[in-house]
Amino acid sequence: DTAVSQTPKYLVTQMGNDKSIKCEQNLGHDTMYWYKQDSKKFLKIMFSYNNKELIINETVPNRFSPKSPDKAHLNLHINSLELGDSAVYFCASSPGLANYEQYFGPGTRLTVT
């Protein structure tokens, strides 16, 4: 059984378009995250939700908007895509806010042309 899944795995789109990435976890975890990994492999936190409540909102352009319809889902919508948005986006989950290991999804490779 897949623990943390993301769709799509690959996303190629043009500048200016709007796109969404979906994430689901079946681990019963309370906390979910979005990370961006750039070409230099630097993994940077973008957002985190705990029980559907936004708890981390890093300095990202407001073109990025997360949505958590329930504890098991955390989606990422990106408006007006730019070349610099090209990266791998990872969703992750953990049991809660305490110091738990994170379980990462397979990643979504976004390429903006």
Partner 1 sequence: GQNIDQPTEMTATEGAIVQINCTYQTSGFNGLFWYQQHAGEAPTFLSYNVLDGLEEKGRFSSFLSRSKGYSYLLLKELQMKDSASYLCAVRASGTYKYIFGTGTRLKVLA
List contacts with partner 1 (CB under 8 A). Answer: 31, 40-45, 48, 50, 55-56, 58, 90, 97, 99, 101-107
Q: Is 78 or 92 the residue whose CB approaches partner 1 more closely?
A: 92
Nearest-approach distance from CB 18 to partner 1, in angstroms: 25
Nearest-approach distance from CB 87 to partner 1, in angstroms: 14
d(C-alpha 70, C-alpha 62), whole Å: 22
Nearest-approach distance from CB 90 to partner 1, in angstroms: 6
Q: Is 22 or 107 the residue whose CB approaches partner 1 more closely?
A: 107
* Cβ neighbours of 75 (radius 10 Å): 18
Q: Provide Rg for the chain, Cα atoms.
A: 13
State residue 83 phi and psi, 5-degree precision: -55, -40
Q: Which amino acid is at 13?
A: T
